[in-house]
């Protein structure tokens, strides 16, 4: 399998109510990277939140003015250390500050996570199909830290058109041993690969991952298929 990861450059600033699908298609065409059948489009949470009016005004002169939003967006707080809060969101994600973010938004505003990122991904996928006739998969990505490891990476918080987890249990490894527990979160791997060309400050909020295994395309959702239920979680 050979993969290509292509940045879609030249996206304009996104505002509430904008036709995000149209903006993506136009930018892809200008970059001479039009969407093709079985592409996977990775879209950052930030522009999805902007388009869906998930920006909330905060006091730009007060560095911690977004903290009440963190509390409001948290259904459960797991840890606190100084100003840092690790909490569970209504979508089921465990992340810093309930996903409330001040980066890459205008001063005086904070971005909240989309209310239903899987639904957001479906809307983008359906919109692209309606405008171009092309069937793509869509991943909505966000930057998360990880327990016990330094640094951040992008993960999927929403998806459409993909099997989010590929179950390899019952298949054999390279030496013929049967795999008993291996399930691969391909949506997270796709999100992390796309981030390598999008970056954190390059102004590239959309990328195409091309050449994915066709068997990975299907149905499912991040919230239902990737987020581990509390009954299976050894750490909550």
Kindly report the CA angle at 89 between 122 and 140, in degrees rounded to 5? Answer: 30
Could you give the CA distance from residue 236 to residue 234 in angstroms, rounded to a whole number? Answer: 6
Q: What pLDDT shows up at residue 183?
A: 79
Q: What is the mean pLDDT of residues 20-36?
A: 95
Q: What pLDDT shows up at residue 168?
A: 64
Q: What is the mean pLDDT of residues 107-122?
A: 95
Residues 6 or more apart whose Cβ sits within 8 Å of residue 146: 152, 153
Q: What is the mean pLDDT of residues 16-25?
A: 96
72-99 per-position pLDDT tens digit: 999 999 999 988 899 999 999 999 999 9
Q: What pLDDT shows up at residue 48?
A: 97
Q: What is the mean pLDDT of residues 157-186?
A: 81
Q: What pLDDT shows up at residue 195?
A: 96
216-234 per-position pLDDT tens digit: 999 999 999 999 888 888 7
Could you give the CA distance from residue 141 to residue 185 in angstroms, rounded to a whole number? Answer: 13
Q: What is the mean pLDDT of residues 18-22?
A: 97
Nearest residue to 164 (alpha-carbon basis) of 146, 144, 141, 148: 141
β-pairing, 109-111 vs 137-146, is unpaired
Q: What pLDDT shows up at residue 113?
A: 97
CA distances from residue 139 to 34, 64, 78 in whole angstroms, order as listed: 17, 31, 27
Is residue 92 within 8 Å of 157, Cβ to Cβ? Answer: no
Is residue 212 within 8 Å of 195, Cβ to Cβ? Answer: no
CA 215 to chain centroid, in Å, comes to 21
Q: What pLDDT shows up at residue 218?
A: 94
Asked whether residue 124 carries a pLDDT value surpassing 90, the answer given is yes
């Amino acid at each position: 399998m050979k993969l290509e990861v292509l940045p879609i450059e030249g996206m304009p600033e996104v505002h509430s109510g904008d036709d995000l699908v149209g903006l993506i298609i136009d930018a892809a065409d200008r970059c001479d990277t039009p969407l093709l059948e079985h592409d996977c489009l990775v879209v950052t949470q930030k522009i999805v939140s902007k388009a869906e009016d998930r920006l909330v005004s905060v006091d730009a002169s007060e560095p911690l003015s977004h903290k009440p939003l963190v509390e409001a967006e948290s259904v459960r707080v797991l840890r606190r250390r100084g100003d840092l809060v690790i909490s569970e969101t209504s979508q089921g994600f465990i992340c810093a500050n309930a996903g409330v973010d001040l980066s890459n938004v205008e001063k005086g505003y904070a971005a909240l996570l989309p209310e239903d990122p899987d639904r957001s991904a479906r809307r983008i996928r359906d919109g692209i199909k309606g405008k171009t006739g092309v069937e793509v998969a869509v991943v909505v990505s966000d930057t998360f830290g990880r327990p016990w490891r330094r640094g951040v990476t992008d993960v999927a918080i929403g998806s459409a058109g993909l099997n989010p987890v590929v179950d390899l249990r019952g298949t054999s490894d390279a030496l013929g041993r049967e795999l008993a527990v291996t399930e691969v979160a391909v949506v997270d791997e796709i999100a992390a690969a796309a981030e390598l060309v999008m970056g954190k400050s390059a102004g590239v909020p959309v990328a195409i991952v091309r050449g994915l295994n066709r068997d990975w395309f299907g149905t499912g959702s991040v919230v239902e298929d990737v987020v581990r239920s509390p009954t299976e979680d050894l750490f909550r």
